[in-house]
Chain A
Amino acid sequence: MRRVDLAIGIGGAAGQGIATPGDILARIFVRRGLHVNAYNAYQSIIRGGHIFLTLRTSDQPVLSQGDKIDVLVPLNQDTMDRHLRLMRPGSAVLFNSDTIKPGVVADGVQLCPFSVKALAPAIRGDLVQNTIALAAILRMIKVEFKILEEILAIQFRRRGAAAVAENTGVARAGYDCAATHFTEFSFSLPDMGKRLAFFEGNQALAMGGAAAGVRFYCAYPMSPASGVLHWMSRHARQLGIMVRQVEDEIGVINMAIGAAHTGCRAMCATSGGGFALMTEALGAAAMMEIPVVCINVQRAGPATGVPTKTEQGDLWQVLGAGQGDYPRIIVAPTNIVDCFKLVPTLFNLVDKFQCPGIILSDLLLSEGRSSIDPAELDFKVPIDRGDVIGLNGDGPPVNGHFKRYLVTESGISPRALPGTPGFSHVVATDEHDEDGVLISDEFTDPHKRQAIHEKRMRKMDGVLPLLPSPELHGAAGAQVTLLGWGSTEGVIREAIQQLAEANVAANNLQIRWLVPLHAEAILSILSKCRKVIVVENNYSGQFARYLRSETGFAADGHIRKYDGEPFMPHHLVDGVNAILAGSTKLYVPVHEIQV
Chain B
Amino acid sequence: MATMVQTERVKVTVKDLKGKVDPDWCPGCGDFGVLAALKQAIVEAGLEPHKVLTISGIGCSSNLPGYLNTYGMHTLHGRALAVATGAQLANHDLKIVVTGGDGDGYGIGGNHFVHAMRRNVDLTYIVMNNQIYGLTTGQLSPTSIKGMNTKSTPFGSVENPINPIPLAIAAGASYVARGFTGQQRQLVELIKGGLQHRGFALIDTFSPCVTYNHDNTHEFFKQRTRKLEEMGHDPTDLHGALEKGWLWGEVIPIGLFWRRQDLPALDQLEPVLGEGGPLAHRPLGVASDIAQALIKELM
A→B interface (CB under 8 Å): 30-31, 195-199, 203, 207, 210-213, 215-216, 218, 235-242, 244, 246-248, 250-251, 254-266, 280-281, 284, 288, 372, 374, 377, 379-380, 383, 391-393, 417-430, 435-438, 441-443
Of the residues A195, A280, A372, A418, contact of B91 by C-beta under 8 Å:
A418
Q: Is the CB of B50 within 8 A of A421?
A: yes
B→A interface (CB under 8 Å): 19-21, 24, 48-51, 53, 55, 58, 63, 65-66, 69-76, 79, 82-91, 93-94, 111-112, 114-115, 270-273, 276-282, 284-286, 288, 290-291, 293-295, 298-299
Q: Is the CB of A435 within 8 A of B20?
A: yes
Contact of A263 with B280 at beta-carbon distance under 8 Å, contacts A281-B79, A427-B74, A438-B74 already known: yes
Using Cβ atoms and an 8 Å threshold, which residues of chain A touch B290?
Answer: 238-239
Using Cβ atoms and an 8 Å threshold, which residues of chain B touch A242?
Answer: 89-90, 270, 272-273, 279
Q: List 28 A-B residue pairs with CB atoms under 8 Å apart, sorted by A's residue number.
A: A197-B295, A215-B280, A216-B90, A239-B286, A242-B279, A250-B112, A254-B75, A254-B82, A255-B86, A258-B88, A258-B90, A259-B87, A260-B86, A262-B87, A262-B91, A262-B278, A372-B298, A377-B291, A393-B278, A418-B91, A418-B94, A419-B51, A419-B71, A420-B50, A424-B49, A424-B70, A426-B72, A442-B24
Q: Closest A-chain residue to B119, C-beta based?
A: A244
Using Cβ atoms and an 8 Å threshold, which residues of chain A touch B299?
Answer: 30-31, 195-198, 374
Q: Closest A-chain residue to B49, C-beta based?
A: A424
A519→B112 CA distance, assembly (Å)? 41
Q: Which 3 A-B pairs have the closest CB atoms?
A: A213-B284, A258-B86, A426-B72
Of the residues B20, B71, B288, contact of A418 by C-beta under 8 Å:
B71
Q: Is the CB of B79 within 8 A of A254?
A: yes
A259→B85 CA distance, assembly (Å)? 8
A391→B299 CA distance, assembly (Å)? 36
Shortest CB distance A244–B (Å): 7
Of the residues B83, B91, B273, B298, contact of A198 by C-beta under 8 Å:
B298
Using Cβ atoms and an 8 Å threshold, which residues of chain A touch B293?
Answer: 238
Using Cβ atoms and an 8 Å threshold, which residues of chain B touch A262?
Answer: 53, 87, 90-91, 94, 278-280
Q: Is the CB of A256 within 8 A of B21?
A: no
Q: Is the CB of A284 within 8 A of B75?
A: yes
A258→B24 CA distance, assembly (Å)? 26
A262→B50 CA distance, assembly (Å)? 12
Shortest CB distance B138–A (Å): 17
Contact of A425 with B86 at beta-carbon distance under 8 Å, contacts A379-B286, A418-B94 already known: no
Q: Closest A-chain residue to B55, C-beta based?
A: A258
A367→B289 CA distance, assembly (Å)? 27
Using Cβ atoms and an 8 Å threshold, which residues of chain B touch A212?
Answer: 284
Using Cβ atoms and an 8 Å threshold, which residues of chain A touch B93?
Answer: 393, 419
Of the residues B277, B280, B294, contact of A417 by C-beta under 8 Å:
B280
Given A250-B111, A254-B83, A264-B91, 20 other A-B residues pairs in contact with their CB atoms under 8 A: A30-B299, A211-B285, A216-B89, A216-B90, A238-B293, A258-B86, A261-B73, A262-B90, A379-B285, A379-B288, A380-B285, A380-B288, A380-B291, A418-B94, A419-B50, A419-B53, A419-B280, A426-B19, A438-B63, A438-B74
Q: Is the CB of A215 within 8 A of B286?
A: no
Shortest CB distance A439–B (Å): 10
A203→B298 CA distance, assembly (Å)? 10
Using Cβ atoms and an 8 Å threshold, which residues of chain B touch A257?
Answer: 75, 83, 86
A236→B89 CA distance, assembly (Å)? 14
Q: Is the CB of B82 within 8 A of A251?
A: yes
Q: Is the CB of A254 within 8 A of B295?
A: no
Using Cβ atoms and an 8 Å threshold, which residues of chain A touch B53?
Answer: 262, 418-419
Q: Is the CB of B76 within 8 A of A284?
A: yes
Of A251, A391, A442, the most chain B CB neighbours within 10 A belong to: A251
Q: Is the CB of A426 within 8 A of B74?
A: yes
Using Cβ atoms and an 8 Å threshold, which residues of chain B touch A379?
Answer: 285-286, 288, 291, 294
A427→B286 CA distance, assembly (Å)? 31
Q: Is the CB of B285 within 8 A of A383?
A: yes
Q: Is the CB of B272 within 8 A of A235?
A: no
Q: Is the CB of A427 within 8 A of B73?
A: yes
Of A237, A255, A257, A429, the most chain B CB neighbours within 10 A belong to: A255
Q: Is the CB of B284 within 8 A of A281?
A: no
Q: Closest A-chain residue to B275, C-beta based?
A: A240
A495→B249 CA distance, assembly (Å)? 76
Shortest CB distance A57–B (Å): 16
Using Cβ atoms and an 8 Å threshold, which residues of chain B touch A377?
Answer: 291, 294-295
A361→B222 CA distance, assembly (Å)? 58
Q: Closest A-chain residue to B68, C-beta based?
A: A426
Shortest CB distance B75–A (Å): 6
A241→B89 CA distance, assembly (Å)? 11
A281→B83 CA distance, assembly (Å)? 10
Q: Is the CB of A251 within 8 A of B91?
A: no
Using Cβ atoms and an 8 Å threshold, which residues of chain A touch B276?
Answer: 240
Q: Closest B-chain residue to A385, C-beta based?
A: B284
Of the residues B63, B82, B86, contact of A266 by C-beta under 8 Å:
B86
Q: Is the CB of B73 within 8 A of A426?
A: yes
Using Cβ atoms and an 8 Å threshold, which residues of chain B touch A239?
Answer: 286, 290
A210→B288 CA distance, assembly (Å)? 12
Contact of A424 with B69 at beta-carbon distance under 8 Å, contacts A197-B295, A216-B279, A251-B112 already known: yes
Q: Closest B-chain residue to A392, C-beta based?
A: B281
Using Cβ atoms and an 8 Å threshold, which residues of chain B touch A429?
Answer: 58, 74-76
Using Cβ atoms and an 8 Å threshold, which residues of chain B touch A426?
Answer: 19-20, 65-66, 71-74
Q: Closest B-chain residue to A432, C-beta based?
A: B74
Q: Is the CB of A258 within 8 A of B87?
A: yes
A195→B72 CA distance, assembly (Å)? 52
A196→B296 CA distance, assembly (Å)? 10
